[in-house]
Chain A
Amino acid sequence: VSLTLTYFPVRGRAEVIRVMLKDQGAEFDEKVITMEMWKESTLKASCVSNPLFGQLPIFEDGDLTLYQTNAIRRHLARKLGLYGKDQREAALIDMMDEAIQDLLNKYVKLMFEKDDSGKEGYLKALPTDLKPFEKTLSGDKGSFLVGDKISLADYALVILLIHHQVLSPPCLHAFPSLQSYLKRLCARPNLHAYFHSDDFKNRPIIPGKRT
């Protein structure tokens, strides 16, 4: 059964999907949509009418076509066993993931601002957002956010932390558990290979911004 990701040639919202699939060694095809192609009405219109929401990414798993990044991520997590060992872990993973999404939305908002004026305020507020994750990962239990296996939420946090280090290299200095978590996850063989690949390195985080 073939997996296909359709997205712009950037990391953006789809990167977490790529990271998850690469780490799990799941093969997938990519259909790249440039902004020029997107602006031509046909694909955007077909997204709007069929059914949902006029946005990318689109993910195809056999005959199932999915929109909405987080629905795609959850589907893959269920499929690849990245959603905890039971319902309780699944609920905790959802909880972690929702909080990560809150921070991601703030980050995305900052990235698309016209100038750098919001950056200082953002970085000042960042430690408050990072603290709960630092707390969760500290102590003897913490290899992963929930349980003893990597989950949907870990992939989201890893890529978010990597991008925050691009934004501000010292941002994790006060967070030893997050630093060691990031180091550990980036040392996973498939992720190590992927993060060092030209494929990853040459893909801009968002359109127009260099990594």
Chain B
Amino acid sequence: FDCYHMKYFELLFTTGRCGAMRIMMADQGQEWKEIVVDFADWMKGDLKATCVFGQLPKLEDGGFALYQSNAILRHLGRNHDAYGKDGKEAALIDMMCDGVEDLRLKYVKMIYQEYDTGKDVYIKDLPNHLDKFEAVMAKNKTGFLVGDKPSFADYSLFEVLLNHLVLCSSCLDTFPSLKSFVEKMSARPKIKTFLDSEAYKKLPINGNG
């Protein structure tokens, strides 16, 4: 193949469930084409009916269609040698990614359901969730969660931390390893180019602003 094709809502979910995979593809020098689905068109139902679980995002890799954002992340991880060097690392990467997913679910719930009432409580509680990642990052010392190169879990964590920094710019101040992780990832040349791009900057993080 020459590149992936990705279908996603621009407005409704945007970086939320696609952010990590975009950053990963950018960093890995993997070209992709984005097909933005207009929400009004989506509600007509024709495309939705062709999606196995009636949801987006969808990734097309050659003639092969894949749904479910974490399945897509793992697929990219396998394709780009970002799934650890052996079975043991793979298991640890899975564990980390599942932990990030738990945090992302909490974040999404707060954003969509409880922003006005729950935002302050969420930010106050955040250190109790971030400390685990800080501990892992500090212990590993390589600047990645597992092993000595970025895995899909790193891209997922990076993306979720970027979103949290928008929510509360000081949230990593007491987590030096995580702060340094975000700085180093942001400085990786291809990621920096992507984050500075117009395409990235105009994407809202979440569907409700």
Binding site for B on A (CB under 8 A): 48-49, 51-53, 64, 66-68, 70-72, 74-75, 78-79, 87-88, 90-92, 94-95, 97-99, 102, 132, 136
B94 CB-CB contact with A under 8 Å: yes
Contacts of B92 in A (CB 8 A): 66, 71
Choose among A48, A67, A98 the residue that contacts B68 (Cβ–Cβ < 8 A): A98
Choose among B88, B90, B98 the residue that contacts A70 (Cβ–Cβ < 8 A): B98
Contacts of A87 in B (CB 8 A): 75, 78-79
What 0/1 pattern do residues 82 to 117 of B give for CB contact below 8 A with A? 000001101110110111001000000000000000
Contacts of B66 in A (CB 8 A): 91-92, 95
Q: Can you show 7 pairs from A to B with CB atoms below 8 A apart? A: A49-B135, A51-B132, A66-B92, A87-B78, A90-B74, A91-B72, A132-B54
Residue pair A98, B70 in contact (C-beta under 8 Å): yes
Q: List the 7 shortest-distance A-B pairs measured between CB atoms, nearest first.
A: A94-B71, A71-B94, A98-B68, A71-B95, A75-B91, A91-B75, A95-B71
Smallest CB gap from A91: residue in B: B75
Residue pair A66, B95 in contact (C-beta under 8 Å): yes
Contacts of A136 in B (CB 8 A): 52
CB contact under 8 A between A52 and B94, given known A88-B64, A132-B52? no
Contacts of A90 in B (CB 8 A): 74-75, 78
Given A49-B135, A99-B53, 14 other A-B residues pairs in contact with their CB atoms under 8 A: A51-B136, A52-B136, A64-B91, A66-B92, A67-B95, A71-B91, A71-B98, A75-B94, A79-B87, A90-B75, A90-B78, A91-B64, A98-B71, A99-B68
A97 to B161, CA, bound (A): 26
A52 to B88, CA, bound (A): 16
Residue pair A68, B71 in contact (C-beta under 8 Å): no
Choose among A51, A53, A71, A95 the residue that contacts B67 (Cβ–Cβ < 8 A): A95
Contacts of A92 in B (CB 8 A): 66, 71
A67 to B98, CA, bound (A): 10
Residue pair A68, B94 in contact (C-beta under 8 Å): yes
